[in-house]
């Protein structure tokens, strides 16, 4: 006859031995990422954003090498407050706007 205490001991032993197999987290299998030369995670440089063929040409002032100004009414103006706590999210929002617009050269960030 098997004693109830020994059944509990066997169950505890089985659970204890199988716990490492059950507790494997998603971080145990990292996705393929680019690592820097020192083994740390590197940052990728954002691509150059260019206007599509259907975008209007931005008039750079008088056309003599003068850049666009904040008063240019042909631009889409985007104003964002940069907060040190949310800087990463703000930069992600800027990157997302630039990436998903068809005329990124027609944006002006304040």
DSSP string, 4-69: HHHHHHHHHHHHHHHHHHHT--GGGSPPP--B-TTSSBP-PPPPPP---TTSPPP--TTSSSPPP-
Identify which of 110, 84, 78 has the alpha carbon closest to the alpha carbon of residue 96.
Answer: 78
Residue ranges of domains in the chain: 4-109
The pTM for the full model equals 0.47
Alpha-carbon span 70 to 61, nearest angstrom: 11
Tell me the per-residue pLDDT of 47-77, one tens digit each, with 9 for 90 and over.
788 888 888 887 654 444 456 676 777 788 8
CB 106 within 8 A of CB 60: no
**25: which residues sit within 8 A by CB, 6+ positions away?**
none
Give the pLDDT confidence score for residue 65 in this predicted structure: 47
């Amino acid at each position: 006859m098997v004693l109830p205490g020994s059944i509990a001991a066997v169950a505890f032993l089985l659970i204890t031995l199988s716990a490492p197999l059950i507790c494997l987290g998603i971080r145990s299998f990292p996705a393929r990422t680019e690592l820097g030369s020192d083994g740390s995670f590197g940052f990728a440089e954002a691509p150059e954003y260019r206007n599509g063929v259907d975008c209007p040409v931005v008039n750079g002032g008088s056309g003599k090498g003068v850049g666009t100004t904040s008063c240019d009414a042909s631009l889409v103006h985007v104003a964002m407050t940069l907060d040190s706590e949310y800087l990463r999210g703000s930069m992600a929002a800027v990157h997302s706007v630039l990436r998903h617009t068809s005329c990124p050269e027609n944006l002006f960030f304040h």
